[in-house]
Structure 1
Amino acid sequence: METERNGRNSGVSSEARDEIMQLSDNAVAVLKKRYLKKDESGEPTEEPMDMFLRVASNIAEGEYRFKRGEEAEELYERSREQFLRLMTSRKFMPNSPTLMNAGRELQQLSACFVLPVEDSIDGIYDTLKHQAVIHKSGGGTGFGFSKLRPKNDIVKSTMGVSSGPVSFMAIYDASTDKIKQGGTRRGANMGILRVDHPDIEEFISCKRDNDQINNFNISVAITDEFMEAVESDSEFALRNPRDGEVHSMVNARDLFGEIVEGAWLNGEPGVVFIDRINDDNPTPQFPIESTNPCSEAHLPPYDSCNLGSINLVKFVENPGASMGAASGESTIDWDGLRETVRTSVRFLDNVIEQNSYPLAEIDAMSRGNRRIGLGVMGFADALIKLGITYDSEEGLAFAEKVMKFVDDEAWEASRHLADERGVMPNYEGTTHEQRGDLVRNATVTTIAPTGTISMIAGCSGGIEPLFAVAFMRRQADMELPDVNPEFVALAKERGFYSEDLMKQVAEHGSVRDIPGVPEDVQNVWVTSHDIGSDWHVRMQAAFQKYTSMGISKTINLPNEADTGDVGDAYLQAYRTGCKGIAVYRDGSREAQVLSTGSTGSTGKSEAPEEPPTGAPADANTGNYISLAEARNGRPRTLSGVTKKLQTGHGQLYVTMNDDEFGPRECFVVIGKPGGTASAFSDALGRMISLAMTHGASPEEVHHQLRGIQDGHPAGVGPSAILSVPDGVAKAIGEHYMTQDEQRSGGAEARELPVIGACPDCGSGLTRQEGCVTCFSCGYSKCS
């Protein structure tokens, strides 16, 4: 049967072939790099159409699980064509594992899983093994560590004491370093601890030093009781999970302040409102303790998330009318959206059948609960085409309307599937049973990071605002404006286009407050950092009203935001019905300074005023001489700083010293003396010192070294160090350069926060949808 089906797979409609030709160059590049099958030399052996056909055919085979004979054949053919058109039209994309693995040997189609952590050595290390199996298959993992007894608690079997949850998190983190996802990259984890656990303060601070537990996102599970204590400024009980007894009492506001301070320092911890999540849990027989790494999939132990996203901008009719570029009115094709939602739900239910799960326990739970998460992307693009401002009451109203429509239609599709295929096996005991609602799936909607799949679809990510209207892209030794092509087309149509204006927009990153851009365009073409944190939270809350599970979104804060701003965002998220929140303050990740000399508290050295040529004057003749001549030997004493960073080869120490003329020398130390790494590092430091002695600026050195990778990165996201040279560049940048200068000194300059270098291409990484993403090559930690 399999051979016969493959023989029919060459039949593709002309419409689908025409649609595949509309993929952007970026989309094709991402597909070739990450999704298409490759031979042993790494060359693609399939074209984009082959990939979409492979996926559509494989997922359509799920129809044979429920029907036989001619009826099954007809369903297969119809579903295959529908699924193919969904993807080639870019109206819908499944999550990355499905695109990568459907119809291939691995056949692991889920992005993320949650595993239990029981309070026993056997339980802890069984889960450690399961984590390794999942990471090897390409999945991410979430853990609830709240059942583990606190540090120094008695262990009766040995009469010893427990080392506590954070110590075991470190073991799971170390394992992640050694197991690469699907043979290509390290896995991602979520670690969650309840706010009433006695070790909560150690957990909150476990990532203050960016050298530790770098393969985890962490979130505090906030209870309603705790939030009530915060509101009333009262004492709050921490309880030993072993026996439920009160361990100690703390002031709730003080503990809340510690959570807020950690998030202000480096974005962690986030929070999930665990009582609200379980109140909405449709399978209360399976309580939820944790989430997936980006916190949008709320899963009981051994459950998985099977995700896909609808591209909303594809359903905007007469898109030019809102901006005066066409007559009539821009509207949504609600009938077309309804059809796409219902087909997408069938696709995702088939994914559950076709999936090859990494553990038997996960297979049973996933097929029993049949959780799916249909989300959206292209929301910001749709708002622009409709002429709606993101940070406005109209924007919030549209968010609620469109997500309610998607959610309602998804449930209708699930009811139809229940009638056709039967209700979910774990139906008994669910809230659906209590209501008499016959459904096929425990959940139907969630809003996940869309990262690379939104690049394939050619749209904005998830429900985030635009990343940028334009940015300065470095090409060789030049910086050229890279402007959203639809903005260029609009500017030309409306008559305000000019090369100078496009460059100004690229340098600013946004169009707001740019003279020459019409006010209505400024209002609609909005970017992440144009929007206040309160609007970010309100938008998340608007979507949460009609979403089964959670939402992956970043609440962006400017660098000058204080802890009060972070606390306000957390409180607002709770009060407006969000199920969790993650904030990121621009520029909040830095290396640790071990010691400082006389270079000043800012870490920047001020050189004396010099002539335009950069050459100092001879003290006797007044003639300009070379900087190397002026320095004429090294003084006995120089002052500077030493920065410590974690690399894939061990601890790296970078010492930077200055003399009266400015940056003078750099010492790079790693590994034991006499080793290869030590010799390489010493040589690198000597060459940097030689360059600086002859007048090379820190900016030039930073530009040359930033983004170099050696295949052994350390950490993820903002704290990732790609190699020893990349670590040295990071240290030099943080000591001598402003954040803006560091951004512009890399492979790509953007107005919005660049939080690290891409491990694949060296360009800037940014945090979007709660996920780390590269907008140049499509690298993503999450999708």
Structure 2
Amino acid sequence: MTTVTTQVSLDVRKRDGRITSFESARVEQAIERAFRAEIGIADGQPIEAALQQQIAEITTNVVNQIENRPFSRDGVDVETIQDAVEIQLMRHGHFSVARRYILYREQHAKLRALRAVESEGTLQAPRIHVKMETGEKQPFDATRMRRRIYSAVRGLEQNCSAEELVEETYRTLYDGITPQEIYRAMILASRSRIERDPDYDTVAARLMLMVIYNEALGHIHPNEDLAEVCQRQFEDYINVGIEAKRLSEKLREFDLAKIAAALRPERDAAFPYLGLQTIYDRYLLHVEGRRIETPQYFWMRVAMGLAWNEEDKEARAIEFYNILSTFRFTSATPTLFNAGTLHPQLSSCYLSTVMDDLEHIFKVVGDNAMLSKWAGGLGNDWSNIRATNAHIKGTNGQSQGVIPFLKVVNDTAIAVNQGGKRKGAVCSYLESWHLDIEEFLDLRKNTGDDRRRTHDMHTANWIPDLFMKRVRENGQWTLFSPDEVPDLHDLYGKRFQERYEHYEQLADEGKIRMFRRINALELWRKMLTRLFETGHPWITWKDPSNVRSPQDHVGVVHSSNLCTEILLNTSKEETAVCNLGSINMVAHVKDGKLDHEKLRETVTTAVRMLDNVIDINYYPTAEAGNSNRKHRPVGMGLMGFQDALYALGVGYASEEAVEFADESMEAISYYALLASSSLAEERGTYETYKGSKWDRGILPIDSMEVLEQERGLPIDIDRSSKLDWQVVRDAIAKNGMRNSNVMAIAPTATISTIIGVAQSIEPTYKNLFVKSNLSGEFPQINRRMVQDLKELGLWDSDMIESLKYYDGGLLEIDRIPDDIKQKYLTAFEVAPQWLIECAARRQKWLDMGQSLNLYMSEPSGKKLHEMYFLAWNKGLKTTYYLRTLSATQVEKSTVDVNKFGIQPRWMKNQSASANIKVDRDKTAQSNDLDQLPEQQPEAKTCNLDGDCESCQ
């Protein structure tokens, strides 16, 4: 640095009144810092000689300007010197640097206004006051704020700067700020740095815990033991909740001292920040806006709410609590919302069949409202409703078909949300032979008559195997009105095919009034086109769902649920109900392999918890209670599959991942069936057990053979096993089963967020992205990836910029080794064949289904056709969302895109999207499956960043 040697005999008056000598070197340093900040040159890095010379010239001019100032015997004040710097920067044409310097002055002016500045041993009175809840204003205590930030950073100093957080928090404060807003400022300062290092997520979580403890427990003195405080105040929490009518009186029946002694508040440290923010916003009980629960009170309330019918309720509650609070298993959202409350509606999903009767149609609509009110996701089967222009005997008129009723269902879902906590959500199913199927496919379009559109309701195709065969053969398909073919709805497999072909013959003979023939491939193409354009209807299959159902002796599966994993019988008398929960897979991986003993223990306890839901549950409708108590189905699922693969050092796109999907699902199935059979020995079998597949000795793995026989085609799936299934067969033969259905893999969108693992069976969406949900927008970074890159010495600011530029993908970052790239492939980088293969291996062990999202980065009609046919050929029962890359991506406003010098993948995809536009009228007539129309710009296709959490 070229130091200006000009010395001016001046006194400088500091802001606190002290007098010091003027030093031109300090002026030069300030100017240099402004240039470095503007240009982006880090401290310590050399500056070009020409620039250094400019800085020296500006400094000289500042000194001259100060020398020529009007005389003052009190000395020149600091503000005058800084004014001179600004003026000289602008005179030399460095306007952006001057702007940077002005902003710097403003920020530090605010810091000085907020800090208690030392002056000759005394403290200057602060000008900022904090507005308390009572309305009283108190002086802002900067020391207290600093102490809390430093406490949150303790142990993480290597990666996190407490001083940076303090300074950023200072900048956001103002006179009259509330304590809650101060905490929010500290948390925002931390979470904005999560992309820099995941340890900032831990800092934000610790600060969030302070917020929760302050509300639920009051001020805790630094010397007090948190565990002691939590245990001491637990009974008060129960009493306050009961008095406020937020908790059930039944909780007083527990030995509260024994329960309180089991609390482990240190487990709060395992929560990620977003998990804490989520439970704070939506799960922790509150009275007049004040949370009365800590996270451990929350887990214990759920555990007690599931144990109050147990003989030794305290021991069971503690057992349940230990499984929940250690993140080994998590109950579904309705259970977490309502367990232990006055209205324990704990079930996740409701499925109903609508009869072709006006009274029953509107009864189901009313039932939807009641079920949605108590936080249930809905699935409605509408295939019974006669088609448009069908004859109505009672009035001698013509039917308007199913579409107008679906509009009513859509609007009901909007009007009645889920307990005021999340949006109402319903999915309507229609079989592919229904005469209104083509209008049904268009329900989510943004064009056409809005009275025949349902923009907020999900839709799904319920497809028989015969249709898939006709598509493959490029054959004809016949559409019927259900009133003329009334038994098709209840038939599947070979019996459906025989009856359907009989009705086709009757139509040819003129004995059926309403029917229409179309090319099966043309209808299939339209299904895929609408799926690509609007995200709906989803593709689900009737025959595998029924042929493999354990309850085929007492009814028919007419649809799935909102998230396509539940497959239960429905009828006019029965609304199917399912009670869900999910195993955290990564919590059961130890030393590079699956920990079977721990998994057995978790699954056994979890099945008991799920079974307890059935007897405790509040049922909004008689049909729901009737069905659930009679058949007692539960849905054990899993989450954190991707995290488990990371722990194993395995990439999703690999044979090892497929094998682990097989092994892990076999183990869950094995222990879950044993657990249900053990409960049957203790509590008795479910009412309709006699005659079920269980009773007939047919396990899920055996039903694959039955499906193959019914379909008349081979199902390409490995059917090997690793465990001794004779043990399970013997147990069921001896004891029976407590539950008609035991396993279903739900999306887990929210509960996985709470415990900080990947959703369900999903691959990593992106390694760096911003997640949007009802709680706000949150930066998310792959912590395991960061750790691996740190170990390789690759984690730095350049890597962060590269991740932003490439939208969280690693493939195009040359510095990263290939094995790391393969391990951390993102969802759109994993070929969908791997997802389907993993799902197929799981499906052979499942008695219900799985919420299987499929990803495609460069979709085409041919690729979609091949993908969905592969899923069908592999014996899958359902699929869920089709996720495709949009044509535009998030603006990279903080990334210097010029430094990369190449076109990123997201820009290439944008160009590719522009090339797949075709004439929509020609699409339906062409047999070329390569082409797809453009996605509708406002279509509500699934956005993974969105809040898709209707069941979980």
Both structures adopt the same fold (TM-score exceeding 0.5): yes
Q: Is residue 263–residue 566 contact of structure 1 (8 Å, CA) maintained in 2?
A: no
* 1:379 CA drift (Å): 0.5
How many angstroms apart in 1 are the aligned matches of 2:632 and 2:589? 31
State the 1:237 CA deviation.
2.4
CA contact (8 A) 1:187 1:215 kept: no
Contact 2:804 2:892 in 1 (8 A): no
Counterpart secondary structure, 2:286: coil
Look up the match of 1:90: 327
Distance (whole Å) between structure 1 residues aligned to residue 856 and residue 581 of structure 2: 28
Q: Mark the CA change 1:3 to 1:123 in structure 2 (over 3 Å): closer, same or farther.
A: closer
Match of 1:154 in 2: 391
**1:542 alignment counterpart:** 841
SS of 1:248's equivalent? strand
SS in structure 2 at match of 1:441 = coil
The answer to whether structure 1 residue 36 and structure 2 residue 284 are counterparts is yes
Choose 425-434 or 368-377, whichever is displaced more: 425-434
Tell me, in whole angstroms, the C-alpha distance in 2 between the residues paired with 1:439 and 1:9.
36
User: SS at the partner of 2:518?
Assistant: strand
Indicate the residue corresponding to 2:949 in structure 1. 780
Q: Which amino acid aligns with 1:461?
A: Q
- Given candidates 528, 536, 549, the residue that maps to 1:268 is 536
* Equivalent in the alignment of 2:674: 412
Tell me if the contact between 1:108 and 1:356 (Cα under 8 Å) persists in the aligned partners: yes
1:54-73 → structure 2 map (5 Å cutoff): 54-63=301-310, 72-73=311-312
Residue equivalent to 1:186: 423
Q: 1:265 to 1:765 in 2, by over 3 A?
A: closer
**Corresponding position of 1:171:** 408
Query: Hey, what's the Cα distance between the residues in 1 that align with 2:417 and 2:887?
Result: 25
**1:20 is matched with which residue: 234, 244, 268?**
268
- Letter of the aligned partner of 1:304 in structure 2? V
| 1:589-738 equivalent positions in 2, closer than 5 A | none
1:556 Cα deviation (Å)? 1.1
* Separation of aligned partners in 2, 1:36 and 1:114: 28
- Equivalent pairs, count: 589
Cα distance change of structure 1 residues 231 and 47 upon mapping to structure 2, 3 Å threshold? same
- For the 8 Å contact 1:143–1:290, the answer to whether it is kept is yes
Shift, 1:583, TM fit: 4.4
Work out whether 1:251 is the aligned partner of 2:488: no
Query: Is 2:533 the counterpart of 1:286?
Result: no
- Seen in structure 2, the aligned counterparts of structure 1 residues 755 and 483 have a Cα distance that, compared at 3 Å, is farther
Q: Matched residue of 1:162: which SS? A: strand
Q: Match for residue 451 of structure 1?
A: 749
Structure 2 counterpart SS, 1:107 = coil
Superposed CA offset, 1:432-476 (max 9, x none): 2222741111111111011110011111110101122123799xx
**Alpha carbons of structure 1 residues 391 and 352: separation in structure 2 relative to 1, 3 Å:** same
CA contact (8 A) 2:377 2:950 kept: no
Contact 2:611–2:632 (CA<8 Å) still a contact in 1?
Answer: yes
CA distance in 2, matches of 1:99, 1:562: 41
Match of 2:601 in 1: 339
Match of 2:577 among 279, 301, 304: 304
User: Is this contact kept in 1: 2:305–2:339, CA < 8 A?
Assistant: yes
Q: 2:460 aligns with which of 210, 219, 223?
A: 219
State whether residues 756 and 765 of structure 1, in contact with CA within 8 Å, keep that contact through their aligned partners in structure 2: no
Q: Secondary structure at the match of 2:741?
A: coil
Q: Which amino acid counterpart does residue 402 of structure 1 have in structure 2?
A: S
1:567 aligns with 2:849: no
1:242 aligns with 2:483: yes
Q: Which amino acid aligns with 1:277?
A: S
Report the counterpart of residue 760 of structure 1 in structure 2: none
Structure 2 residue aligned with 1:68: none
Which position in structure 2 is the counterpart of 1:122?
Answer: 359
Alpha-carbon distance change, 773 to 417 in structure 1, aligned in 2, over 3 angstroms:
farther
Query: How far 1:407 sits from its partner (Å)?
Result: 0.6
Displacement of 1:495: 2.5
Q: Which amino acid aligns with 1:79?
A: R
Distance 1:162 1:579 in 2: 32
Structure with more of its chain in helix, by fraction: 2
Residue of structure 1 in register with 2:613 after alignment? 351
More strand by share: 1
Give distance in 2, aligned partners of 1:95 and 1:445.
14
Shift of 1:294: 1.0
Q: Is the 8 A contact 2:662 2:841 kept in 1?
A: yes
Candidates 519, 522, 529, aligned match of 2:828: 529
Distance, in Å, in 2 between the alignment partners of 1:350 and 1:529 is 40
Amino acid at match of 1:102: A
Are residue 442 (structure 1) and residue 740 (structure 2) matched?
yes
2-structure distance, mates of 1:248, 1:428 = 42
Secondary structure of the 1:427 match is coil
Counterpart Cα distance in 1 of 2:584 and 2:848: 19
The C-alpha deviation readout for 1:96-152, integer Å capped at 9, x for no partner, is: 000010011221101110122000111111111111111112212111111111100
Task: Kindly report which structure 2 residues correspond to 1:326-475, keeping only aligned pairs within 5 A, or say none.
Answer: 330-435=592-697, 437=733, 438-471=736-769
Residues 408-428 of structure 1, C-alpha deviations (whole Å, 9 max, x = no match): 110000100000000011213
Using the alignment, how far apart are the partners of 1:90 and 1:279 within structure 2? Answer: 35
Kindly indicate whether the alpha-carbon contact (under 8 Å) linking 2:881 and 2:942 is maintained by their aligned counterparts in 1: no
**C-alpha displacement of 1:31:** 0.6
Q: Summarize the Cα distance change of 1:118–1:589 in structure 2 as closer, same or farther, 3 Å threshold.
A: farther
- Cα 1:451–1:192 change in 2 (3 A) is same
Give the Å deviation of 1:306. Answer: 0.4
Q: Is the 8 A contact 2:771 2:946 kept in 1?
A: no
Residues 491 and 581 (structure 1 numbering): CA distance in 2 closer, same or farther, change over 3 Å? same
Amino acid at match of 2:524: F
Does the 8 Å CA contact 1:407/1:445 hold for their aligned counterparts? yes
The alignment partner of 1:434 has SS state of: coil
Look up the SS of the partner of 1:103 in the other structure.
Answer: coil
Aligned in 2, Cα 1:572/1:215: closer, same or farther, shift over 3 Å?
Answer: same
- Deviating more after overlay: 421-430 vs 81-90: 421-430
Q: How high is the sequence identity, in percent, across the aligned residues?
A: 30
Larger Rg: 2
CA 1:506–1:699 in structure 2 vs 1: closer, same or farther (change >3 Å)?
closer
Give the residue type in structure 2 aligned to 1:484. N
Letter in 1 for 2:758: S
Q: Given the superposition, is the C-alpha separation of residues 3 and 781 from structure 1 closer, same or farther in structure 2, using an over 3 Å criterion?
A: closer
CA distance in 2, matches of 1:547, 1:401: 13
Contact 2:853-2:883 at 8 Å conserved across structures = no
SS in 1 for 2:636: strand
Q: CA deviation at 1:356?
A: 0.6
Asked whether the equivalents of residues 250 and 308 of structure 2 are also in contact (C-alpha less than 8 Å), the reply is no
Q: One-letter code of the match for 1:160?
A: G
Distance 2:691 2:887 in 1: 46
The answer to whether residue 588 in structure 2 is matched with residue 315 in structure 1 is yes
Distance 1:83 1:765, change over 3 A: farther
Q: For residue 13 of structure 1, report the CA deviation from its aligned partner.
A: 5.5
Residues 562 and 755 from structure 1, CA distance in 2 versus in 1: closer, same or farther, beyond 3 angstroms? Answer: closer
Counterpart contact for 1:349–1:370, Cα < 8 Å:
yes
Secondary structure of 1:249's match? strand
Counterpart residue type for residue 441 of structure 1: N
Q: Normalised by the size of structure 2, how large is the TM-score? A: 0.59
* Cα distance between partner residues in 2 of 1:483 and 1:357: 40
Q: Residue 630 of structure 1 aligns with which residue?
A: none
* Separation (CA, whole Å) in 1 of partners of 2:819 and 2:261: 41
The residue type equivalent to 2:653 in the other structure is D
Structure 1 residue 196: Cα displacement: 1.0
Bigger CA drift: 259-268 or 493-502? 493-502
Q: 1:233 aligns with which of 474, 478, 482?
A: 474
